[in-house]
Structure 1
């Protein structure tokens, strides 16, 4: 009986080993498609896409850092790997380049790419507490990586002067749009000067604010005739309506 039990265990062990060997032989071979020639093509494609994305920043310097594929990937051998920029992908900050097999297999993976964009932007000359209203002495222009954060870096002093900091910041920190508190140009119930502009005309009148006039956010106003309009706050007790 013991001999039969031992024989049964040995049989199971041999079967398991055979299954493991079969699974190993039938699994796709690990294939890293990132040979030097492909890496050069990926870098060139990413560089072109990144340069196109900074056309509005004259003198901006782009620096790329190619990542690596997920080590857990097991890619079947491929005769031709095609790199591409995914639709809607901006080569800015953390991005990706697609790699698809165009000959011999049917896989499609992504390679992480870090895109750094160095351009003149505002940085703080000293450490400041939250709520500080920014002055010219607090600011200077330096070349920084403006793609390092999701929030846009501020590049013109007029974008920051007089604005309070939303949080404490250190000397040398890049000033971002998110670094500043949203300005409130007027409060709900205030009488506001409403300006309507269009091609060849500009008219103005008074209206009552039906909500707080926050910078960058449309607000509803009631005109003297009782009409409700949507306008953009632009200055203290002033809003604009454009066609």
Structure 2
């Protein structure tokens, strides 16, 4: 089974959205003086076509040559009455994702009346990943026969799909999945690496040094959560469970 790495796709989408912001600014600039609307359907279609080509080029440079990226450019509120502008600066509003359903900001910084608007866009990033062969109930322990490979939209839901079977086999589903669903980390129950009171191996380290010792777990070691441990000397440390009876502490 061949799966593409997913991080390059994120970079490709980021480059794609950056290009979209520049082209969106051009659409607004060309549309000044149109009256109630800014930018016509032909201009929006032209933007979408150019962005798709730029996105394909970006994906190729990022190593995800088989990725298929589609961009849907929305429309500004037709009730907007924007003053003519000689300089429009595009930007990504804080906290918004660079793919999926998002918005780009367009700010007039040189004109008789400054304005600031956002343009809705949707960025789809399609790549090969694991999908379920059939519907699976919550609580299912995953096995290789549960999966196949198919093209999925990486941006369709929060969190990247799991691309390698070894990262899923043996895990338990936290929620039901329909047939053909991409498997994401949020679909899996958190693993418990040890129980409270168990003796764990603690690895503490920093730049250029590392110390290994044993300690008692003060609470269960759940994947993705912080755990407290008590060393033989009585010192309390906080770390993260990284494997069966193993805790990593960064000092």
Using structure 2 for the length normalisation, give the TM-score: 0.72
Partner of 1:190: 198
Classify the secondary structure of the residue corresponding to 2:127.
strand
Please state how far the C-alpha of 1:79 moved relative to its aligned partner: 4.7
**Distance across 1 between alignment mates of 2:49 and 2:118:** 14
Change (3 A) 1:93 1:38: closer
Kindly provide the CA deviation profile for residues 3-48 of structure 1, in whole angstroms up to 9, marking residues without a partner as x: xxxxxxxxxxxxxxxxxxxxxxxxx994322145577468757986
More relative contact order in 1 or in 2 (CA 8 Å, sep 6+)? 2
Unaligned runs of 5+ in 1: 1-27
Matched, 1:145 2:153: yes
Kindly provide the CA deviation profile for residues 188-224 of structure 1, in whole angstroms up to 9, marking residues without a partner as x: 2221122234556554322111111111222111011
Classify the secondary structure of the residue corresponding to 1:76.
coil
Matched, 1:31 2:39: no
Please state how far the C-alpha of 1:57 moved relative to its aligned partner: 6.7
RMSD: 3.2
Partner of 2:71: 64
Unaligned runs of 5+ in 2: 1-32
- Work out the number of aligned pairs and report it: 215
**Distance across 1 between alignment mates of 2:223 and 2:54:** 35
Using structure 1 for the length normalisation, give the TM-score: 0.75
- Is the 2:52–2:69 Cα contact (8 Å) retained in structure 1? no
